[in-house]
Structure 1
Amino acid sequence: MLSGVIPTPSGEEEYDAWAEQTTHMLEEWQCGDNVKRQRIVESLKGPAADIMTFLRAQNPNATSNDYMQALETAFGTTESSADLLVKFRHTFQSEGEKLSAYLLRLDKLLHCVLRKGGLQLSDMNRLRTEQVVRGGLPQDMVALHIRMTDKLREPLTFNELLKEVREEEDMLQSRNDTKNAVMSKAVTSVTKTLPEIKPNPEME
């Protein structure tokens, strides 16, 4: 639920978290826009619900995208879509950061741009993948895999890309764990076979 009241009441979401979740669901829902509008309205209360009432009175033909933009105007960031897109283009993976965490940071910014009307929904998958290719660390093996396959297939959805990245990360982690376990066992085995070195009394 979202009311837009600050501080956020118990049992409700802050606007940014609500908007990100709702935008993802709007992408995934295979239903007509009238159903999407209804589901948005059902998740609102208080000032947020009042905004929808005013919008529908002024524009009975408003779309679910119009609903989201009206809420963004009322509760979202004051940065422009152009500024947010520049910020998105200059967001890079940090040292020590997993690619999955970087992808989540990117997607949050990308949805802010979408809610501000700075891009079309149909462009999101392409822009997201392009920035992962540009912004991923050169030594990140998962990012390298995405660079190698980027031009060979259509851009993946957020859920598809995140699933692939996490599976690759888990596979690499499993390999490293196995390698470390084998090395540790080998070192232990060698240590046990070494002769015990006793101190020489004449050296004391």
Structure 2
Amino acid sequence: MPSSLVEPTVAETRRARRILRLLTARYPDSRLELDFDSPLQLLVVATLAAQTLDERVNAVRPVLFERYPAAADLAAADPAEMEQILVPVGYYRQKTRNVIKLAAVLVERHEGEVPATLEELVALPWVGRKTANMVLGNAFGTPAVSVDTHVARVAHRLGWAPEKDVEATEAAIQALFERKDWVAVNLLLILHGRRTCHSRKPACGACPLAAECPSSTIGETDPEKARALLKG
């Protein structure tokens, strides 16, 4: 735990456990919404997911990896051919260059394998802390917290950390929950941010966390109107 982070009180950890139970009940089948069959696939689809919908990435993934199943195949790809596959995800020319370069570095530094440490992952091109922790937690089963915009927003509204401080949010969540729960909490916070705790108008009146949340009146508080805002 960073020295600047105040260790949570017993009351705060108990509240965190209540929140975890409430979110688990709300989203019993929570999972990462990006499809993948290997660490390489998750690393690549996470790169492709920037500024597009997960559904679009999931749609191109089988085609991309049938054509280029290994890092060496991706690194050696003809850019024009890959671009045609990646058109649906947007910014396809830039993303093609990114995937080819990422794969080439994997081949050069790691014999085509995805490294399993945070330090090695963030040293790869276009792989930040968020993506690295996503891969660690979901592809390797290593306890990790990946702070995207949804996690940052929900954690801030719950009073855990400043919204714009990714590392503080990551550390706060790690301090509040047991290591074995980090990945599950992470996925639940993402789902909650996508489906209920929206950025512009959260569905506070239909939120299972309302009694635990200091921000429970910032959105739509009428239960019926709030239910209409729910997604998924």
Do these two structures clear the TM 0.5 threshold for a shared fold by scoring above it? no
Larger Rg: 1
Q: Which has the higher helix share?
A: 1
Which structure's relative contact order is higher, taking Cα pairs within 8 Å and 6+ residues apart? 2
Length-normalised TM-score, structure 1: 0.30
Length-normalised TM-score, structure 2: 0.27
